[in-house]
Structure 1
Amino acid sequence: MTSTDVERAAHAYCPRCHPDPQPGERVTALCGATHPYWGRRDRPVTRCPACTALAGAPTLACGHSG
């Protein structure tokens, strides 16, 4: 995955690991991709399929409940 792909895909992240990310702050998505946070995208055109699948799990990879 290239950095352009990371920026285009709307990644999900743990709200307990990143409770209030600021623009430009690097966050780690549920799929493991690390990227700068540029605001929440409510209706993204492209979604990261790995994040979408992991967001429904009862326990996230970081150990927090989903």
Structure 2
Amino acid sequence: MMAEIERAAHAYCPVCNPDPGLGEPVTALCGATHAYWGRRERPVNNCPACETVVAKTVYPCGHTGGER
């Protein structure tokens, strides 16, 4: 399961990560930290833990998905 999450497309808080540069380390909503290599718009192989957090009103960082 961990390998599947590592290869999955993660979701990030847009307030905590407003404009990450390529290769910059960012922390996904599920807590995984990876180098940022661009946003994926395709809903393919999404991280299931990130999807669970996105469904909540408030992210663990205290921000909401609607904030920018």
Count of residue correspondences: 64
The alpha-carbon distance between structure 1 residues 60 and 5, as it changes in their structure 2 partners (threshold 3 A), is closer
Following superposition, the deviation at residue 44 of structure 1 comes to 4.5
* Residues 43-54 of structure 1: pairs in structure 2 closer than 5 A: 43-54=42-53
Match of residue 64 from structure 1: 63
**Structure 2 length as normaliser, TM-score?**
0.84
Match of residue 40 from structure 2: 41
Q: Deviations over 1:32-64 (max 9, x none)?
A: 000000001111431100101101211100011
Contact 2:13 2:59 in 1 (8 A): yes
Structure 1 residue runs without a partner (length 5+)? none
The alpha-carbon distance between structure 1 residues 5 and 53, as it changes in their structure 2 partners (threshold 3 A), is closer
**Structure 1 length as normaliser, TM-score?**
0.86
Following superposition, the deviation at residue 9 of structure 1 comes to 0.6
User: What is the RMSD of the two structures over their aligned residues, measured on CA atoms?
Assistant: 1.5
The share of aligned pairs that are identical, in percent, is 62
Match of residue 30 from structure 1: 29
